[in-house]
Structure 1
Amino acid sequence: MAGKIYEMSNKISTKHKLTIALTIFIVIVIAVLWSSIFGYNSATQILVKQSPFGEMSCIDHAGFYFKGFGTIYEYDRTKDFYFNSSNEKVKGQSWEGDDTDEDDISVTLSRNANADISGYLKYQLPTVCEELIKIHMDQRGDRQLKHGLVRNAVLSAVRKTAPLFTAEEAKVTKIAEFRRLAEDQLIYGEYLTTTEIREEKVGEDEVDSTGRVTKKAESQQYTVTKLALDAQGQRVLIKESALKQYNIRILQFEIQNVKLDAKAQQQLDIVKEREMKRVAERTASETAKQQAITAEAEGKAKVAKEKAEQEVVKIREVTQAEKERDVAILNAQKEKEVARLAAEKAIEDAKRIRAEGEAEAAANRAKVQAGLTPQEAAEWAYKTKVGVAEALAKSSHPLVPSIMMGGADGKGGSTAMDAVGLKYLMDINEKLSK
Structure 2
Amino acid sequence: MLTYIGILIIVIGLLSLLTKPIMGTTKFTSWATPKRSLQIVLLGLALSILTGAFFYAEPGTAYAVQYPWGGQKAVFRQGIHTKMWGRLIPIQFELPIKYVIPNSNGELGEQSEYANVDDAKYWAFSDAVKARIATSVVIGINTDDENQFLSVADRNKTEQNMIRSRIIPNIDQSIKNTCKLMDAQDYISGQASDFDRYFKDQLENGMYVLEEYSENQNREIIGDSSTVRTVMNKESKQKRFRIQLRNGEPVREKGNSLKAYGLSVIQAVVTEIDWEETFDNRLQLQKEEVAQTQLEKQQAEREFYRAQKEKARGEADKAVERARLEKEQIQKTIAAETEAKVAEFNLTKEKKQYEVEKFKALSKKVAADAESYKNAKLVSAGLTPQERAEWEYKTSVHVARELKDLSLPEIFIEGSTSKTNDGNLLQSLIGADLAKKMMDSKKE
Q: TM-score scaled to structure 2, two decimals?
A: 0.71
Q: 2: CA distance between counterparts of 1:431 and 1:241?
A: 147
Cα deviation code 1:10-64 (max 9, x no counterpart): xxxxxxx999987765443222221110111111211001001121211111110
- The yes-or-no answer on 1:318 pairing with 2:333 is yes
Q: 2: CA distance between counterparts of 1:313 and 1:241?
A: 90
Given that 1:80 and 1:123 are in contact with CA atoms closer than 8 Å, whether structure 2 keeps it comes out as yes
Cα deviation code 1:93-144 (max 9, x no counterpart): 8555799532112111121111111122122211022121122122221011
Query: Would the alpha carbon gap of residues 197 and 271 (structure 1) be closer, same or farther in structure 2, given more than 3 Å must change?
Result: farther
Comparing 343-352 with 305-314, which one deviates more in the overlay?
A: 305-314
Given that 2:54 and 2:83 are in contact with CA atoms closer than 8 Å, whether structure 1 keeps it comes out as yes
Q: Deviation of residue 346 (structure 1)?
A: 2.6
Q: 2: CA distance between counterparts of 1:218 and 1:150?
A: 42
Q: 1: CA distance between counterparts of 2:125 and 2:425?
A: 127
> Residue 65 of structure 1 corresponds to which residue in structure 2?
81
> Residue 29 of structure 1 corresponds to which residue in structure 2?
45
Given that 1:357 and 1:384 are in contact with CA atoms closer than 8 Å, whether structure 2 keeps it comes out as no
Q: Deviation of residue 248 (structure 1)?
A: 1.6
- The yes-or-no answer on 1:197 pairing with 2:194 is no
Query: Would the alpha carbon gap of residues 18 and 194 (structure 1) be closer, same or farther in structure 2, given more than 3 Å must change?
Result: closer
Q: Deviation of residue 366 (structure 1)?
A: 6.0
Query: Would the alpha carbon gap of residues 22 and 245 (structure 1) be closer, same or farther in structure 2, given more than 3 Å must change?
Result: same
Q: 2: CA distance between counterparts of 1:319 and 1:153?
A: 93
Given that 1:107 and 1:117 are in contact with CA atoms closer than 8 Å, whether structure 2 keeps it comes out as yes
> Residue 307 of structure 1 corresponds to which residue in structure 2?
322
Cα deviation code 1:281-301 (max 9, x no counterpart): 444434434443443344334
Query: What are the equivalent positions in structure 2 for 1:110-149 lying under 5 Å apart?
Result: 110-127=126-143, 128-149=145-166
Q: What amino acid does structure 2 have at the position aligned with 1:101?
A: V
Partner secondary structure for residue 132 of structure 2: strand
Q: 2: CA distance between counterparts of 1:199 and 1:264?
A: 26
Q: Deviation of residue 88 (structure 1)?
A: 7.7
Given that 2:96 and 2:114 are in contact with CA atoms closer than 8 Å, whether structure 1 keeps it comes out as no
> Residue 432 of structure 1 corresponds to which residue in structure 2?
429
Cα deviation code 1:297-355 (max 9, x no counterpart): 44334424432443344334323432443343234323321331232023202321343
Q: 2: CA distance between counterparts of 1:18 and 1:282?
A: 99
Q: Deviation of residue 147 (structure 1)?
A: 2.1
Partner secondary structure for residue 69 of structure 1: coil
Cα deviation code 1:185-238 (max 9, x no counterpart): 22222223343335889xxx9x9xxxxx9xx99863233333344554x44434
Gaps in structure 1 of 5+ consecutive residues = 1-16, 208-212, 394-398, 401-420
Q: Deviation of residue 374 (structure 1)?
A: 11
Partner secondary structure for residue 117 of structure 1: strand
Query: Would the alpha carbon gap of residues 60 and 431 (structure 1) be closer, same or farther in structure 2, given more than 3 Å must change?
Result: farther
> Residue 439 of structure 2 corresponds to which residue in structure 1?
none
Q: 2: CA distance between counterparts of 1:148 and 1:283?
A: 56
Cα deviation code 1:147-184 (max 9, x no counterpart): 22121111111111112222233245332322222122
Q: 1: CA distance between counterparts of 2:169 and 2:191?
A: 24
Query: What are the equivalent positions in structure 2 for 1:261-340 lying under 5 Å apart?
Result: 261-340=276-355
> Residue 406 of structure 1 corresponds to which residue in structure 2?
none
Given that 1:49 and 1:71 are in contact with CA atoms closer than 8 Å, whether structure 2 keeps it comes out as yes
Query: What are the equivalent positions in structure 2 for 1:9-28 lying under 5 Å apart?
Result: 25-28=41-44
Q: 2: CA distance between counterparts of 1:287 and 1:430?
A: 103
- The yes-or-no answer on 1:106 pairing with 2:103 is no
Query: Would the alpha carbon gap of residues 95 and 276 (structure 1) be closer, same or farther in structure 2, given more than 3 Å must change?
Result: farther
> Residue 275 of structure 2 corresponds to which residue in structure 1?
260
Query: What are the equivalent positions in structure 2 for 1:19-418 lying under 5 Å apart?
Result: 25-86=41-102, 94-96=110-112, 101-127=117-143, 128-171=145-188, 173-198=190-215, 220=234, 221-223=236-238, 224-230=240-246, 232=248, 234-239=249-254, 241-361=256-376, 363-364=378-379, 379=393, 382=396, 385-386=399-400, 389=403, 399=407
**Number of equivalenced pairs:** 377
Q: 2: CA distance between counterparts of 1:140 and 1:39?
A: 18
Comparing 47-56 with 79-88, which one deviates more in the overlay?
A: 79-88
Given that 2:217 and 2:231 are in contact with CA atoms closer than 8 Å, whether structure 1 keeps it comes out as no
Q: What amino acid does structure 2 have at the position aligned with 1:336?
A: K
Q: Identity over aligned residues, as a percent?
A: 17
RMSD: 4.1
> Residue 8 of structure 2 corresponds to which residue in structure 1?
none
Cα deviation code 1:249-273 (max 9, x no counterpart): 2222221211111222233333333
Q: What amino acid does structure 2 have at the position aligned with 1:242?
A: S
Q: 2: CA distance between counterparts of 1:431 and 1:313?
A: 64
Q: 1: CA distance between counterparts of 2:122 and 2:428?
A: 139
Q: Deviation of residue 433 (structure 1)?
A: 5.1
Q: What amino acid does structure 1 have at the position aligned with 2:182?
A: F
Q: 2: CA distance between counterparts of 1:320 and 1:230?
A: 88
Query: Would the alpha carbon gap of residues 255 and 429 (structure 1) be closer, same or farther in structure 2, given more than 3 Å must change?
Result: farther
> Residue 22 of structure 2 corresponds to which residue in structure 1?
none
Given that 1:187 and 1:241 are in contact with CA atoms closer than 8 Å, whether structure 2 keeps it comes out as no
Query: Would the alpha carbon gap of residues 133 and 432 (structure 1) be closer, same or farther in structure 2, given more than 3 Å must change?
Result: same
Q: 1: CA distance between counterparts of 2:297 and 2:255?
A: 47
Q: 2: CA distance between counterparts of 1:112 and 1:431?
A: 139
Given that 2:96 and 2:115 are in contact with CA atoms closer than 8 Å, whether structure 1 keeps it comes out as no
Partner secondary structure for residue 198 of structure 2: helix
Q: What amino acid does structure 1 have at the position aligned with 2:59?
A: A
Query: Would the alpha carbon gap of residues 130 and 309 (structure 1) be closer, same or farther in structure 2, given more than 3 Å must change?
Result: farther
Gaps in structure 2 of 5+ consecutive residues = 1-32, 413-423, 432-444
